[in-house]
Structure 1
Amino acid sequence: WDKDEGKKGKTTKHLPETAHYVCEHCGVIWSDPRRWATVRLGEWRAEKPFVDTAGFHLNEIYSPWKKLEEMVREFLAAKEMGEEAMKVFVNTSLGEVFEIRGEAPEWERIYNRREDYAIGVVPEGGLFLTAGTDVQKDRIEVEIVAWGRQRESWSVDYRVLLGDTSRQEVWNKLSALLEERFPHARTGAGMIIDRMAVDSGYATQEVYAWSRTAPLGRVMPIKGVDKSRFPIQGPSDVEVKIGKRKRKRGAKLWTVCGPVFKAELYGNLRQDPPDEPEDDEGFPPGYCHFPRYDPEYFKQLTAEQAVTRVRKNGFAVIEWQKTRERNEALDCRVYARAAAEHELIRMNERVARNKERKLEESAVMKTGKGPTPSAPSEKPDTVSRWAEPVLSDDPWL
């Protein structure tokens, strides 16, 4: 299952219908019927005296109903869907323990492969936008991310809204950002944030109260958890304080399993771009694109790593620990990914083409002409925190 890439790490052409089992002793190729017949002839023999109940740890190759072609297709589909799907395949189909690569990618490597697209403009492959929002005492930090086919993503902008989060002014800025339009590079259509995930760990009641003022379905207050059966669960009803009154079902809350999305993100960050920009194979599924943010953004994006710790009962658990103090960029990206989960699950070629068509129609309605790119919209009272200054070649400027 680890031999599906070429020498340069590029995905090779897959032919699932040719899948077969090769005997590890004599090298003979087995068809599915021969494999099933051989499995039926097998029996378990204890190597040592044994009086207890026997338990078996087998993968799907032993199944008398499973064709290898089906297993290969499921493997390829899981690999395209991302790390969480691969975890399910490895655990259930292969009967093996899925190992999380939790060491943080090198921030310099990601920084060095930044791209020249404009901050605040949605690159051509972006089909919808989400945002991840981290609330602090004196500011709200937001990353806007565009998503495309095969979970490819582009960081569109990173905003810092300055202000006391116990007061209404900074939340008004967040409301304005939610309605801001980001121009699409190819069509010029103005795109709004489809869904924004807002962490409720700090200023909890303020987050709940603000979410009640947002358009229905576009804001999801979230609570991070370290363990869960699902990456996202909810929504559940939560109590909201409105002045001196309390509403028991005043807002909706989703729980987000951060370690799942962090592991997926780090796997995506380790991927390499194609050797040539015009490479027909394109970028690998889940590839993350970044504009010319400054180094601090990438240091924060890689500010945690997974560490295996053995509990007193002897069981090993994986914990995510900070390697540096500031990690807001990582949190915002995880929240933006959680906000995209619903759309990414249903994303296929038909859905993607439909979104492209709507972008083109929106551009025509706006201008009365065909697709034309437009400039980024104004950003009042916000800071694009990670944008690097552009230096002129003119010595007089």
Structure 2
Amino acid sequence: MPTFELPTRPHGWRPPAYASAAGCLEDALPILAPVQRRSVSSWAGADRRLRDNGAIIAWDNKVTPYMVEPMDMSASRRFRGVVFAGPARTGKTDALILNRIGHAICCEPCDMRVIHMDRNAAREFSLKKVGALINYTPALKRRLGRGRFDNNILDKRFQGGMTLDIGWPVVSKVSASDLPLMLLTDYDRAPEDIEGEGNLYDLALKRTETFGSRGMAIAESSPGRLIEDDDFLPPEGAPHMAPPATGILALYNRGTRGRYYWTCPDCSEVFEPDYELLHFQDEGSPKERGLAAVMGCPHCGAILEPRHKMELNRAGRWLHESKTGDLVSVHDDALRETEFVSYWLKGAAAAFQSWASLVSRYETAWQEFQQTGDETSLKTTVNVDQGKPYSSRMVEDEDDLSVKQLKDKAEQYLLKVAPPETRFLTIAVDVQKGRFVVQVDAWGPGLERWLIDRFDVHAPPAGAPSADSRAIDPAKYKEDWDALLPLLEKYYPVAGIGYQIKPAALIVDSGGADGVTKNAYAFFRKSRKLGLRRRVFLAKGLDRWDRDRAKEVTPEKEEGKRVKKRSDLRIVRVGTWRLKSEITASLAREDPGADAYHLTRNLPSEVFEEFCAERRTPKGWVLRKGRKRNEALDLGVYGLALVLVLKGEKINWKRPPIWARRMETNSFAAPRPKQETDPETGARDLAEESVCEREPVPAQTEAPETEAEEEKQAVQTTVKPKRAPTRKVRRKPRRRGNSLVAGLRG
């Protein structure tokens, strides 16, 4: 039989060093070790090491004392989540993410996952932050696994089998796994919706649910989302509620709503340090202003200098909302009942950011915004330096108003009653699904304006198909547009005198859902046949600043087809951006007079909100986030556009046309019936009537084409009716310089 010989062993060969039983037991023992009852801040102060200017130093809780309580609550079994909103340079990532990782590894081993805003950020965070945490902290480095794959870039394994995973916001990272600890950093820079599954925090919180009170989801970020309501005021009983915004502040509002307070060394009153409390000179460069910045106590006015900041921080404390809206500590029994403990720190308290840099950066960004209209730098410094959500400074235009300001300026006059100064009325109509929205304005000399009626038309007219069993539908039924015709014959009493007046003209939006434009054209043509020429107009709103304010034109296309011959349609093209600015300026006017726009306190609250639903930006007027209805503003624009095409701006108020004269000779006015009460006391019942029996009054339905016809119509409306002529006489019109036509010109 063949013989086999073992290979010759080289000189000096030794057998490999196999793992010993003692070594394997040493690696496995940490999983059996009892949990160490230490707070996160206590562990960080004893074991955490970090690199600072080339030296390895110990973590000092006194540097960022405001992070001690949030750190300790991150390991609490009382809450399911911790939320921290604050500016950059506060140490929030080191305290809430890195220290919590270190505490979990050393004191309470468990699997955990960090979610950063994207893949590149996750990789950089692992290399620079997590890598430094492990390398510079001996207590962590000796627990790092020694296996070949235990120290990868995006996942690390420690003694006892616990893992740390660094990921980014994708569904695969927040589903199909159970983890007791989920850590979300830079939350507001992550997508709001994770692949259609929901927001990141709720998805992460679901991963921890299996572990009961040991599960914890932590989110930290500086605010990065826009305020959705610029007129927000904290409701009663919720003094710490943040303005409505998505992201980290939405999570903050779910929790206990804690804020950091200082105690004034002079009056011993507590106050929240904020950028608004900083005082600095108005002259000089942004840097010079910043260097002079000091903080004033809002209670006694005591001046606090930058050198006091560290001392005030160390003596500061977090105050949270109680069940009754009082401010209490997090350990108080009256603390607001919620699953989350939440914190919001303002930039004035940030340990690594001086007041000088806060002021100089904001003032620099403000100057850039004023010079270029670009608010990018301004948003950055408000979010990152001050730790606040951003509200576009475009709304701080001198002519812009908030809902509160509009309500404060509102006057006490009756709806459905025209003021004594009235010369004519206009109706503006917006087309919405299931309704017409109607707004009636009274106009006086100088185009002073009063909103006197606002209502919706929901019911189809009696002659429309299935009128008794459905709501109005302007897109499907052209017959429904007949509901607008009675509005032109609706009389409004004039306060203080025995007259009433009906609208001179109506303008309706011709855009909207499929079918609206076609039906609007049919309504316009029908109104012409009914003798309402120059009393019914169609509007087409156009964006851009270079548009004409209001211009009446013949459409080039009709119902999607190019018009081959001159159309009988007339469309009022409205430069909405320019007119919205004018409307806002009119509403902001403090004194009555020409161009002032008056609102009454009797208007519904939503009308004031609709007037403020948009804001002006360099790119035009845009709907504010969180607002959906802007009908009042649009109707105000259409009403002004109607007056412009009627040449209302060119009226000589000493010799106005007959439709804009005083009530005694106005072509649309009539004496009030004797049985009707004075509008100052009983006009509300009168105004409810849609169409009443009126004394016959000559009404102008056709605009005069020449000045001779103007004189003819003026005589007909002021003198008793003329007998029918036996023959027609064509007269050559006389020219009277630059006098204006009396009627509604074509």
TM-score, structure 2 normalization: 0.32
Residue 270 of structure 1: aligned partner = 588
Structure 1 runs (4+) deviating above 3 angstroms are 100-104, 237-241, 351-358, 361-369, 372-381
**What is residue 286 of structure 1 aligned with on the other side?**
595
CA contact (8 A) 1:147 1:154 kept: yes
Q: 1:356 to 1:260 in 2, by over 3 A?
A: closer
Looking at structure 2, the residues matched to 178 and 238 of structure 1 have their Cα atoms a distance apart, in angstroms, of 29
Hey, what's the Cα distance between the residues in 1 that align with 2:662 and 2:445?
Answer: 16
Larger radius of gyration, structure 1 or 2? 2
- 1:296 Cα deviation (Å)? 0.9
Per-residue deviation, 1:124:
1.0
CA contact (8 A) 1:121 1:185 kept: yes
Task: Verify the 8 A CA contact 1:198 1:221 in the aligned structure 2.
Answer: yes
Deviation, structure 1 residue 181? 1.3
Give the AA of the match of 1:221. Answer: L
Higher RCO (CA < 8 A, seq sep 6+):
1
SS at 1:216's partner residue? coil
Deviations 1:249-284 (A, max 9, x none): 2421121100111001111222224xxxxxxxxx24
Q: Secondary structure at the match of 1:359?
A: coil
Instruction: Tell me which of 340, 344, 353 is aligned to 2:648.
Output: 344
1: CA distance between counterparts of 2:689 and 2:409? 27
Q: 1:256 is matched with which residue?
A: 574
Check whether the contact 2:492–2:500 (CA below 8 A) recurs between aligned residues: yes
Equivalent in 435, 446, 453 of residue 139 of structure 1:
435
C-alpha distance in structure 1 between counterparts of 2:565 and 2:581, whole Å: 37
User: Which residue of structure 1 lines up, in the alignment, with residue 426 of structure 2?
Assistant: 130
Q: Secondary structure at the match of 2:590?
A: coil
Letter matched to residue 366 of structure 1:
P
Deviations 1:321-365, CA, capped at 9 Å, x for gaps: 001111011111110111111342122331459767541246996
SS at match of 1:175: helix
* Corresponding position of 1:304: 614
Query: For each residue in 1:194-225, what CA deviation from the matched residue of structure 2 results, as whole angstroms up to 9, or x when unmatched?
Result: 12221111211111111122200011111111
Q: Give the distance between the partners of 1:335 and 1:364, measured in 2 at CA.
A: 23
2:453 aligned to 145, 149, 157, which one? 157
Normalized against structure 1, the TM-score is what? 0.58
Q: Which amino acid aligns with 2:583?
A: L
Letter in 2 for 1:109: Q
The 1:365–1:333 alpha-carbon spacing in structure 2 relative to 1, beyond 3 Å, is closer
Alignment partner of 1:111: what SS? Answer: helix
Distance 1:364 1:140 in 2: 26
Pairing 1:121–2:438 present: no
Aligned-pair identity (%): 28
8 Å CA contact 1:300, 1:329 repeated in 2:
yes
Summarize the Cα distance change of 1:102–1:198 in structure 2 as closer, same or farther, 3 Å threshold. Answer: farther
Q: Is the 8 A contact 1:196 1:219 kept in 2?
A: yes
Specify whether residues 357 and 146 from structure 1 end up closer, same or farther in structure 2 by C-alpha distance, changes over 3 A only.
closer
Q: Is residue 528 of structure 2 the alignment partner of residue 232 of structure 1? A: no
One-letter code aligned to 1:344: G
User: Is this contact kept in 2: 1:132–1:143, CA < 8 A?
Assistant: yes
Q: What does residue range 90-101 of structure 1 map to in structure 2 within 5 Å?
A: 101=397
Distance in 1, matches of 2:510 and 2:659, equals 31
CA contact (8 A) 2:651 2:657 kept: no
Residue 503 of structure 2 corresponds to which residue in structure 1? 193
Aligned equivalent of 1:388: none
**Aligned-partner residue type, residue 223 of structure 1:** K
Matched, 1:331 2:634: yes
| Cα distance in structure 2, aligned partners of 1:354 and 1:219 | 18
Structure 1 Cα separation of the partners of residues 480 and 669 of structure 2 = 35
The aligned residue for residue 79 of structure 1 is none
Tell me the CA shift for residue 170 of structure 1: 3.5
Q: For this pair of structures, how many residues does the alignment match?
A: 259
**CA distance in 1 between partners of 2:494 and 2:556 (Å):** 37
The C-alpha deviation readout for 1:211-248, integer Å capped at 9, x for no partner, is: 1222000111111111344211222146667xxxx997
**Residue of structure 1 in register with 2:524 after alignment:** 211
Gaps in structure 1 of 5+ consecutive residues = 1-99, 274-282, 309-317, 382-397
In the alignment, the residues of structure 1 paired with residue 483 and residue 642 of structure 2 have an alpha-carbon distance, to the nearest angstrom, of: 20
Distance change >3 Å, CA 367–CA 287, structure 1 → 2: closer
Q: Are the structure 2 counterparts of residues 356 and 179 from structure 1 closer, same or farther at C-alpha, using a change threshold of 3 Å?
A: closer
The alignment status of 1:320 with 2:621, answered yes or no, reads yes
SS of structure 2 residue aligned to 1:122: coil
| Separation in 2, partners of 1:185, 1:199 | 30
Q: Give CA deviations for 1:359-397 in whole Å, capped at 9, x if unaligned.
A: 12469963699xx9553344459xxxxxxxxxxxxxxxx
Distance in 2 separating the partners of 1:169 and 1:142: 18
2:540 corresponds to which letter in structure 1? K
Question: Structure 2 CA distance, aligned partners of 1:344 and 1:260?
Answer: 17
Change (3 A) 1:180 1:109: same
Q: Which one of the candidate residues 671, 675, 697 is aligned to 1:366?
A: 671
CA separation in 1, counterparts of 2:541 and 2:673? 45
What is the DSSP-based 3-state SS (H/G/I as helix, E as strand, rest coil) of the residue aligned with 1:144? strand
Contact 1:238 1:253 (8 Å CA) reproduced: no
For residue 115 of structure 1, give the secondary structure of its aligned residue in structure 2.
Answer: coil
CA–CA separation in structure 1 for the residues paired with 2:669 and 2:403? 41
The answer to whether the 8 A contact 2:423-2:659 is kept is yes
Secondary structure, counterpart of 2:455 in structure 1: strand
* Residue identity matched to 1:164: D
SS across alignment from 2:570:
strand
Distance in 2 between the 1:364 and 1:380 partners? 16
Task: Letter of the 1:220 partner, please give it.
Answer: F
Q: Which has the higher strand share?
A: 1
Which residue of structure 1 aligns with residue 158 of structure 2?
A: none
